[in-house]
A and B are shown apart, each in its own frame.
Chain A
């Protein structure tokens, strides 16, 4: 789409492998928060992974499969990420944290409401139950689900740091949001943070694919169902990734103060979706 071949799709794995082998440089000014944040961030993505129905709803997590828990676990990771950005006392980390927290505050409302639309339709906030119910919804619920999905997609773009919110490949620190907070990291901690960011992208795409369009998910643990579900999951994720890529190649990054309007739009779309349910 950008008229070139670009890096291979396994490039991020190579980046991670290389980073694990490099030395680390830690600033004198950094405290234990800087040193621990990558572990905390990575663990939150793993924990959320336990709660998501990726391929099958046969394993229903009644303990923390609630969508509010997922959202606030993401907030836990973001909290520490923002603190680590401030910790080293560099010129860019601080304002990266500021912009991230500003937008994150506004995005939370949109995220909660888009998933709330689905819970109201499914009569449960548990993710596995939502997946179960959305498969068998009548056609009249299609419009709310679509509106909620558009709202969710906007938040997906923000939380994973893609256009139009953030340019993952930029070198201009003044325009960075997520990248600015990790400018100070090196070596294996940087690898963990990049890995956690990739996990987060997968988490959001899995939520988008499985919750809003759950056809193909296995409802039990038999081998056939799981294989079909794996295939369906890959197809859905591929379509979503293609969508994100098309978006990245066609639009430019928005000016920072236009982004709250975008997030507010997502919130209003979800509110309209809820209003349409009744």
Chain B
């Protein structure tokens, strides 16, 4: 207990140390980069150590320093759930820091690396404090620190106008979300009289059902904005690409998970269960987010924006697990509820790992080619073989291909949805069926999208001449990616043990104290509680490996007389050029056409002519293909206009005329005196 507490507090000291030394050395770029990364690495390691000691050596720790001023009371608590999230955050932060050390070298001479180190360390510190805060006010303070630090990281490359705009959008949206969160906490304070989570948990009976539902909706919107559920996601696709790649990995991999963490904390830990419509709402939101996320990803050609949309999709999948957990909980089917929570937590971990891997691969490619547009890539596998290999592993993981980790968590999510279809009554059953259908569709579309991304980026011939000059990235980048790729394989193969640990964590959550553990660690297989399904990933990995080796040996060496010659690609007798390959636009056009009603694609053709007045001799045609921004036009623009209109009416009163203000004060004073006299 003490050990975990001490290491955690050490971590909390190391990050600010990194921040301060980084900004102190900001004149010397190399030193600033080095100290920033070093302290981040050390802090992450101590975070991992403390989380592991809590998870595997039991127990929780609390640090409580109450005082009469609520703003100064400091309450931290790390139980199994927080420890799990601290583990996820620290692991990804560790690898992102090692990656960032090499990656930041591209910023030498252009931007101030002291700032990068400062905000980066603060960002990570903010995140680990967010998942361990036990007091609503402390929570809000560190939440704000996390958001502000990430805002400054998003606008780090400030010479590009797009980044500034992305940052501003992120700033507004995250504060709008925070406003909802503040409202939720205020409602809780009003009912229970305290801001401390422990006290709230113990006095849950004081909260009326209406307040409880209101808190649910406010928390869903507030934390959903951070997590990126549709329709509150509009900041995600512009903010994540704008940040430097290791920061994008952190933001996409772990920051949005803090929203999920608080949802689990509030809906299942503080409130030990709500009505069934909570679960069904989250199921529907998860289904919509996952499908729309992957459809928008298919329409994108900016590699980082595409990965950001995939984060939205995976958050949708996590929400499917969470929604089923809530539904099962309100129906009393606790073993299935634990199964669903295990699915959600496992997918959180897996997504963090493979999304970070993918962002690192993308960053590696972008730093060498200086463009984010995948239409300008091609054939990179020959010049950056390691990046290609690790990106391939990341693509396989995110497409839920066995034996990698994405498959394990999607399998468990499927099982929990199937359990829902089998066991619950009429209305909920249809929600589960829609959810299962959307998960199946999402899995297939994600597969299609990553075939496109990997194929167009790394395979075939280069589409631009400058590709032929690029080389593999430096060691720190390749090393981080290698570790993450290895982690995806390990998490997949040993998914049985991982799910056993996760079900223990799920047990610790208030709603499920004392329930059944679902998995069998013995054969390293994942098994559902009632024997409906079981899968053993290690055996798949092993047997597939053996079969592959056998096939390769038999067929490579037995027919011996044949030669292999290298020739040019069969081009049907015409000239082979880079325009002959499939383009990303062409690849996804079929799907966009099929889903045209949802995506609303637009096509704009502009023709310039040789002669000004005569339309007979076209010189050039420009075709602009796009998808409509329906959220902006249908939700946010009208809201914006409404706000502006209301503000303009308020402007009648707030007209800047000091005499008018004095008049208002005078009138109110008279009214108050009258009211006081009447009383």
State yes or no: do A and B come from one complex. Answer: yes
Stretch in B81-89, B541-549, B608-616 touching the partner: B541-549
A72 contacts B402, C-beta separation under 8 Å? yes
Tell me if A13 is interfacial: C-beta within 8 Å of chain B. no
A24 contacts B565, C-beta separation under 8 Å? yes
B interface, over-half SS: helix
B551 contacts A98, C-beta separation under 8 Å? no
Interface residue from B441, B525, B559, B565 paired with A105 (Cβ < 8 Å): B441
Tell me if B381 is interfacial: C-beta within 8 Å of chain A. yes
B564 contacts A23, C-beta separation under 8 Å? yes
- Residues facing B in A264-278 (CB within 8 A) are 267, 271, 274-275, 278
Give the distance in Å from the alpha carbon of A123 to the alpha carbon of B423 in the complex. 11
Residue of B nearest to A94 (CB): B582
- Measured between C-beta atoms, what is the minimum distance from B653 to chain A in Å? 56
Give the distance in Å from the alpha carbon of A155 to the alpha carbon of B458 in the complex. 31
Residue of B388, B455, B534 ringed by the most chain A CB atoms within 10 A: B455
- Measured between C-beta atoms, what is the minimum distance from B388 to chain A in Å? 8
A126 contacts B533, C-beta separation under 8 Å? yes
A87 contacts B418, C-beta separation under 8 Å? no
B567 contacts A26, C-beta separation under 8 Å? yes
Tell me if A106 is interfacial: C-beta within 8 Å of chain B. yes
Stretch in B66-74, B324-332, B503-511, B590-598 touching the partner: B590-598
Give the distance in Å from the alpha carbon of A109 to the alpha carbon of B444 in the complex. 8
A75 contacts B451, C-beta separation under 8 Å? no
Interface residue from A46, A87, A91, A93 paired with B547 (Cβ < 8 Å): A46
- Chain A residues, Cβ within 8 Å of B414: 68, 112
Interface residue from A62, A87, A101, A278 paired with B448 (Cβ < 8 Å): A101
A47 contacts B543, C-beta separation under 8 Å? yes
Residue of A nearest to B531 (CB): A124
Give the distance in Å from the alpha carbon of A63 to the alpha carbon of B563 in the complex. 40
Tell me if A168 is interfacial: C-beta within 8 Å of chain B. no
Interface residue from A22, A47, A89, A112 paired with B540 (Cβ < 8 Å): A47
- Measured between C-beta atoms, what is the minimum distance from A211 to chain B in Å? 15
B590 contacts A99, C-beta separation under 8 Å? yes
Residue of B nearest to A111 (CB): B440
B565 contacts A26, C-beta separation under 8 Å? yes
- Measured between C-beta atoms, what is the minimum distance from B344 to chain A in Å? 18
- Residues facing B in A31-50 (CB within 8 A) are 31-33, 39-40, 42-44, 46-47, 50
Residue of B nearest to A123 (CB): B532
Give the distance in Å from the alpha carbon of A267 to the alpha carbon of B433 in the complex. 11
Per-residue 0/1 for A44-62: is the Cβ within 8 Å of any B Cβ (1 yes, 0 no)?
A: 1011001000000000001
A-B contact count (CB 8 A): 242
Residue of B nearest to A173 (CB): B572
Per-residue 0/1 for B561-586: is the Cβ within 8 Å of any A Cβ (1 yes, 0 no)?
A: 11111111111100010001110001
B547 contacts A97, C-beta separation under 8 Å? no
B433 contacts A108, C-beta separation under 8 Å? no
Residue of A nearest to B579 (CB): A91
Per-residue 0/1 for B439-481: is the Cβ within 8 Å of any A Cβ (1 yes, 0 no)?
A: 0110111011001101110111100000000000000000000
- Measured between C-beta atoms, what is the minimum distance from B463 to chain A in Å? 10
Residue of A29, A99, A113, A124 ringed by the most chain B CB atoms within 10 A: A29
Residue of B nearest to A256 (CB): B590
B448 contacts A102, C-beta separation under 8 Å? yes
Tell me if A88 is interfacial: C-beta within 8 Å of chain B. yes
Interface residue from A26, A69, A91, A109 paired with B535 (Cβ < 8 Å): A69
B564 contacts A24, C-beta separation under 8 Å? yes
Tell me if B189 is interfacial: C-beta within 8 Å of chain A. no
A94-B587, A113-B437 as given contacts; A188 in contact with B447, CB under 8 Å: no
- Chain A residues, Cβ within 8 Å of B547: 43, 46-47
- Chain B residues, Cβ within 8 Å of A86: 451, 455-456, 459-460, 581-582
> Which B residues form the contact surface with A (CB < 8 A)?
379, 381-382, 388, 392, 396, 399-402, 407, 411, 414-415, 418, 421-422, 429, 433, 436-437, 440-441, 443-445, 447-448, 451-452, 454-456, 458-461, 525, 531-536, 539-540, 543-544, 547-548, 551-552, 555, 559, 561-572, 576, 580-582, 586-591, 593-594
Please name 27 pairs of A and B residues whose Cβ atoms are closer than 8 Å in the assembled complex, sorted by A.
A21-B562, A26-B566, A27-B567, A29-B461, A29-B569, A31-B458, A40-B548, A62-B534, A64-B539, A66-B535, A69-B540, A73-B402, A91-B571, A91-B581, A93-B582, A105-B447, A109-B437, A113-B436, A120-B421, A120-B422, A124-B532, A125-B415, A125-B533, A183-B570, A188-B555, A188-B559, A257-B593
> Which A residues form the contact surface with B (CB < 8 A)?
20-33, 39-40, 42-44, 46-47, 50, 62-64, 66, 68-69, 72-73, 75-76, 78-79, 82-83, 86-91, 93-95, 97-99, 101-102, 104-109, 112-113, 116, 119-120, 123-126, 183-184, 187-188, 192, 256-257, 260, 267, 271, 274-275, 278
